[in-house]
Amino acid sequence: MVSTRVVETVHDNGRSQEAVLPANLVRVRNWLVEQIIARLDPAVTWQRTPEATRQVFQHFQRLYQQAGLTLSEEMRKRLFEAVADEVLGYGPIEPFLQDPTVSEVMVNGPHLVYVERNGKLEETGVRFDDDEHVIRIAQRIVKPLGRPLDRAHPRVDARLPDGSRVNIIIPPAALPGPVITIRK
């Protein structure tokens, strides 16, 4: 059975922060993502459908058992959601895009992610691994739009299929690092 996403909000010094995957599991997540993508039909990896989620879950379960991982049920669910978000969604910002109280997601480099929730700007605890991770997610966002995103075409301003607006700037146009803004 495929788990349902649960976004847990933790209040830290008055700021809300989404529960994130512990640093010691990031390498495990990356390995699982690499293994699952290698096993999936490439047409499946760009859409989050019940069938695609089921396939990712089956591969996740098999690889989890083969690797001999022993995590708590809560941590295993969080690991699966992180893997599914990387394979089928927009990585660490996917929960915000599913959250109806969030109207805008702003990624300012790999370690600074803000959301606008109920009209208020909040810094989140969400982090990307590095600039390349942000760029991979940005390229996944624009791929279905048929828009190039690379050093020769470092800016994209477009409308997503759900009607959201996306603005992406990557180096060399964004000197401090890649920037993604999605306005729902």
The CA-atom distances, in angstroms, between 124 and each of 54, 141, 143, 150, 152 are: 29, 20, 26, 27, 31
* Vertex 144: Cα angle to 141 and 147 (nearest 5): 80
Q: Looking at residue 116, what is its pLDDT?
A: 98
Domain residue limits, the chain: 1-89, 99-184
Q: What is the 3-state secondary structure (H, E, C) of the chain?
A: CCCCCCCCEEEECCEEEECCCCHHHHHHHHHHHHHHHHHCCCCCCCCCCHHHHHHHHHHHHHHHHHCCCCCCHHHHHHHHHHHHHHHHCCHHHHHHHHCCCEEEEEEECCCCEEEEECCEEEECCCCCCCHHHHHHHHHHHHHHHCCCCECCECEEEEECCCCCEEEEECCCCCCCCCEEEEEC
Spatial distance between the Cα atoms of 166 and 117, rounded to a whole number of angstroms: 17
91: tokens are 């990585």
Q: Looking at residue 49, what is its pLDDT?
A: 87
Class of domain 99-184 as given by CATH: alpha beta
pLDDT along the chain (184 residues), means of 10: 38 43 88 94 74 94 96 95 94 95 98 96 95 97 94 97 97 95 98
Q: Looking at residue 20, what is its pLDDT?
A: 64
Q: Looking at residue 176, what is its pLDDT?
A: 86
52: tokens are 């695609």
Q: Looking at residue 173, what is its pLDDT?
A: 97
